[in-house]
A and B are shown apart, each in its own frame.
Chain A
Amino acid sequence: MASHGIKDRVAIVGMGCTRFAEHWDKGLDDLIIEASGDAFASAGVTKDDVDAYWLGTAQSGMSGITLARPLQLTGKPVTRVENYCTTGSEALRAAAYAVASGAYDVAMAVGAEKVKDSGYQGLNAFPIPNDGTARTLTAAAMFSMVAPAYGKKYGVSEDQLTEVLARISWKNHRNGALNPRAQFRKEVSTDTICASPRVAGRLGVFDCAGVADGAASAIVVRAEDAHRYTDKPLYVKALSFSAGSGSGLIDPDYDYTWFPECAQTAQDAYRQAGITDPRGQLAMAEVHDCFTPTELVLMEDLGFADRGTAWKEVLAGTFDLTGELPVNPDGGLKSFGHPVGASGLRMFFEAWLQLRGEATPERQITTDRTLALTHNLGGYPGEMVSFVSVVGTELG
């Protein structure tokens, strides 16, 4: 993958994030105003100090005006971006590149989604006029095909797999229970998880991400300017993105036990950031746990575990909050919730809190490591977009 990266050229100097929840009493504008206001305050700037804006929203609004109107931005370049569930990450990527290019001094990325006004369960895509031959499966069903394929390939019995997936859900609920901004703030026993009603394949309700409304935002500046805004900036070490060709769906060689787009972006991001041993170097990772088998497979795609071994590491607690490499310390999509356009930036927000030591004490990760990874994907096995970033508190 040919990418030069922008290591240490841009820094995040302010962030905001609403609670993710069924915000029946808040509209998209309210969520945007809250998350943006927190980021402005965090960086000590006003909306006028920001030179350019990117809004990530998958389907809560169209065009930059969706952001310009609620914030009453005048004369500013405001762009709306969409890239499936990586929409929020894409907003930050655009803002970071805009600053790195020298076009702007200060740029802002806002991710927001008002999901719960649809009246339907789960997430639903915009209908685009078509020939009627496209799949109409839920994302849960598409991802549910990963678990049996993984189990078969690596000799993991159905019972073991059930235990592993329940352990992932249990961990993310446990992390979310400690997080005041999370949608679900309750620990859930593995018994309850296993007994939950089936949604698709073997996946139950507790294997699926929470569906929530929310917004998150970040302000980025040139790295050399960062200390004008904060004592503890987060330097962007790597931004990698890949859109799959969709061939996995029709390629007989694809076996549903890994996500090539994710493995590819991880390798690219590690190269950009100079990471050689992600499990040994990262303080934490936020990954796209849309469904529990997704997190399982990602542990291997992101190089946290060798192929076929992630399930053992999950059971060993390697990725727990107090484990060797905490994964989804904020509760992940599972319990923090998944307002599509906001999720990518929410992941950065957790890195922002943890690396700066600002998480609440009961959930603050204690480590001398200074790097965090965020991974955000969209689409389905075989037809996916993937984003991986690395951020860190130290230059170099």
Chain B
Amino acid sequence: MRGIVSIAGYVPYRRLQRSAVAQLFGKGGGKGTRSVASHDEDTTTMGVEAARLALRSVPDAAPDAIWFATATPAYLDKTNAVAIHAALRQPSTAAAFDFGGALRSGVGALQASLAAEGTGTTLVVVSDMRDGLPTSTDEAAGGDGAAAVVVADEGGGRPVIAEYLGGASVSDEFLDRWRTPGERRSKVWEERFGETRYLQVGIEAWESALESTGLDARQVDQVAVTGMHARASRAVAGKLGVEGNIVVDDLASSVGQTGCAHPGLVLASMLERSGPGQVVAVVTLADGADVLILRTTDAISSWAPADPVARQIAGAADIGYGTFMTWRGMVTPEPPRRPEPQRVSASAAWRSEEWKFGFVGSRDRSSGAVHLPPSRVSMRGGAVDDMDPFDRADAEATIVTYTIDRMAYSPSPPVVFAVLDFDGGGRFPVELTDVDPDEVDIGDRVTMTFRKLFTADGIHDYFWKAKPVRSGGRGHGANSTSDRGET
């Protein structure tokens, strides 16, 4: 038996009120909110955050491979999964592959890993950022987010919390939406055509999946229908042969459709709410239809999600439409008159991989002094080459002092910057993110997050920032518990 041993979603901190679009343009937008990746996030960094959350529940999971799927990759040619691999400090023997380009690659990676019995532990990361031109449906209905799923065989060391019962795929070549390489904007054919096609292939896949798993539709406890075609999703959901309350919230009104990430995100959301013995299904509509059916095991009772999707949805803060359009590159405000950063040196970055991607410093064996970044010579006692690696990525920290830099270069000024003292040792001055300048104070608690500092010459500069630990919402403090059983 193969299945999921841990899963997590990642929804960025910021939301756009869809009504803000019509307030500016007199049209577009809609009701509810969509999630917005920060200016320092991309599909790779969001994938890292989702994977960190998923692995926090199973720290010794040791994936044999990391699969990363997105329709909006930070790099082409260069494998984004390898950056995720580095940020997760996985051993070099772990494989890392991208599933790229199409919206269907997200569910494809999930399906392939779940079906591949006997292939060890696979960490599947799905991530996406959905864009559209101002006032478009895609702009309003899209969302940004990621999910990470740790897939393994039962008996592999970690208990399976949801076993994969089976599924079905139907492939159909028809033009619904498309985007040529280099384009930001997707184009769509007349909506009714796609709806007609998806309704047919969706139900076909659903019935085929039920047949292959030997289940009746009435045995399904929760099902989510996802896809960028909202009308088609609603239409398919209405024809599944299940009671209305079995079809769960597809997060469209709060998060928006996160493309490649969405099947993983809704699956995480469902499993976080599930007790043992529940049948959970995901129907994904993209160039055909894919159905995944799982059943939770008794082990789910002792599985503790690090930061449930529901909490992340609740603990959000709005940004204005102007900021949204700026972050998406739709408008370019005047930057500070400071030089833009130069590109990162490939060789320098490689030499400091542990630090840059893993946020691993060093601790002097004799004095205990913590060095961030790692140092060969100790600042206390002067011992040379007598240090142990000291991992700080998962440590929480307290703000010692801070400042707001209104003149430094930033893709989104001002820079909020703080000096941190980490629990368990180590001081580091670092930029804060997911924070408003007026909400920072000395003594505040923060946690580290993997971000993109800037891009120069097409090279993304990945490193770590700190973000507030927000009670009742974000972060992964000791009070983070599952909200299982709640809605």
Considering only CB atoms and an 8 Å cut-off, how many residues of chain B contact the other chain?
Answer: 44
Contact status A138-B427, CB under 8 Å:
no
CB within 8 Å of A: which of B301-348? 336-339, 341-342, 344-345, 348
Contacts of A249 in B (CB 8 A): 427-429
Within 8 A of A (CB), among B342-382: 342, 344-345, 348-349, 351-352, 355-356, 369-373, 379
Question: B379 and A251: CB pair below 8 A?
Answer: yes
Q: Is A33 an interface residue (CB 8 A)?
A: no
Contacts of A201 on B, CB cut-off 8 Å? Answer: 403-405
- A250 touching B344, Cβ below 8 Å: no
The 0/1 profile, CB within 8 Å of A marked 1, for residues 377-406 of chain B is: 001000000000000000000001111111
Q: In the bound complex, do residue A148 and residue B379 qualify as a contact, i.e. CB atoms below 8 Å apart?
A: no
A325–B400 alpha-carbon span in the complex (Å): 34
Give residues of chain A (130-187) contacting chain B, Cβ–Cβ below 8 Å: 130-133, 135-138, 140-142, 144-145, 148-149, 152
B409 at the interface (CB under 8 A from A): yes
Q: B100 at the A/B interface (Cβ < 8 Å)?
A: no
Interface residues of A in 239-272 (CB under 8 A from B): 245, 247, 249-252, 254, 256
A200-B407, A252-B421, A256-B401 known; A132+B442 contact, CB < 8 A: no
Give min CB distance, A384 to chain B, whole Å. Answer: 14
Residues of A within 8 A of B345 (CB): 129-132
A122 touches B461 (CB 8 A): no
**Which residue of B341, B355, B356, B426 is within 8 Å of A136 (Cβ)?**
B341
> Which of the residues A120, A132, A141 comes within 8 Å of B453, measured between beta carbons?
A132
The number of chain A residues with a CB under 8 A from chain B is 37
Whether the pair B405, A138 counts as a contact (CB closer than 8 A) is yes
* B403 lies within 8 A of A133 (CB): no
Set of chain A residues within 8 Å of B341, measured between Cβ atoms: 127, 132, 136
For B371, list chain A residues within 8 Å (CB): 250
Cβ-closest chain A residue relative to B353:
A131
Distance (Å) between the CB of A392 and the closest chain B CB?
37
- For chains A and B in complex, what number of residue pairs have CB atoms within 8 angstroms? 118
- A206 to chain B: closest CB distance in Å? 14
Q: Are B349 and A132 in contact (CB under 8 A)?
A: yes
Find B417's partner among A137, A148, A250 (CB 8 Å cutoff): A137
User: For residue B407, which residue of chain A has the nearest CB?
Assistant: A138
B469 is an interface residue with CB less than 8 A from chain A: no
Per DSSP, chain B at the interface is mixed
Distance, CA A329 to CA B419, complexed state (A) = 35
* Closest CB in chain A relative to B460 CB, distance in Å: 9
Other-chain contact of A250, B339, B379, B404 (Cβ < 8 Å): B379
Q: A131-B345, A131-B351, A141-B415 are in contact. Are A250 and B428 (CB under 8 A)?
A: yes
- Cβ of A198 < 8 Å from any Cβ of B? yes
Among B342, B425, B427, B429, point to the contact of A135 (Cβ < 8 A): B429
Instruction: Assess whether A127 is in contact with B408, with CB atoms less than 8 Å apart.
Output: no
Interchain CA distance A256-B408 in the complex, whole Å? 20
Please report the C-alpha to C-alpha distance between residue A267 and residue B352 in the assembled complex, in whole angstroms: 38
Q: Are A137 and B461 in contact (CB under 8 A)?
A: no
Say yes or no: is B97 at the interface (Cβ < 8 Å to chain A).
no
Interface secondary structure of A, over-half rule = loop
Are the CB atoms of B344 and A130 closer together than 8 Å? Answer: yes
Query: A137 and B344: CB pair below 8 A?
Result: no
Complexed CA–CA distance, A144 and B352 (Å):
30
| Nearest CB on B from A238, distance (A) | 28
B379 A247 Cβ-Cβ under 8 A: yes
Nearest-CB distance from B203 to chain A (Å)?
50
Contact A130 B406 (CB under 8 A): no
> Complex: how many Å from CA A144 to CA B402?
9
Are B401 and A148 neighbours in the complex by a CB distance under 8 Å?
A: yes
B372 engages A250 (CB within 8 Å) = yes
Complex interface: chain B residues within 8 A of A132 (CB) = 341, 344-345, 348-349, 356, 453, 461-463
User: Which B residues are in CB contact (< 8 Å) with A144?
Assistant: 403, 405
Given contacts A132-B344, A132-B356, A141-B415, contact A245 B404 (CB under 8 A): no
A359, CB-defined interface residue at 8 Å = no
Determine whether the beta carbon of B401 is less than 8 Å from that of A145: yes
Q: Which residues of B contact A130 (CB under 8 A)?
A: 344-345, 348
26 contacts between A and B (CB under 8 A): A120-B338, A120-B339, A124-B338, A129-B345, A130-B345, A130-B348, A131-B344, A131-B349, A131-B356, A132-B462, A133-B356, A133-B463, A135-B417, A136-B341, A136-B408, A136-B409, A141-B408, A141-B417, A149-B401, A200-B404, A201-B404, A245-B379, A249-B428, A251-B369, A251-B427, A252-B426
- Apart from A131-B352, A133-B356, A250-B371: 10 A-B pairs, beta carbons within 8 A: A127-B341, A129-B342, A130-B345, A136-B409, A137-B415, A141-B404, A141-B415, A200-B403, A250-B372, A252-B421
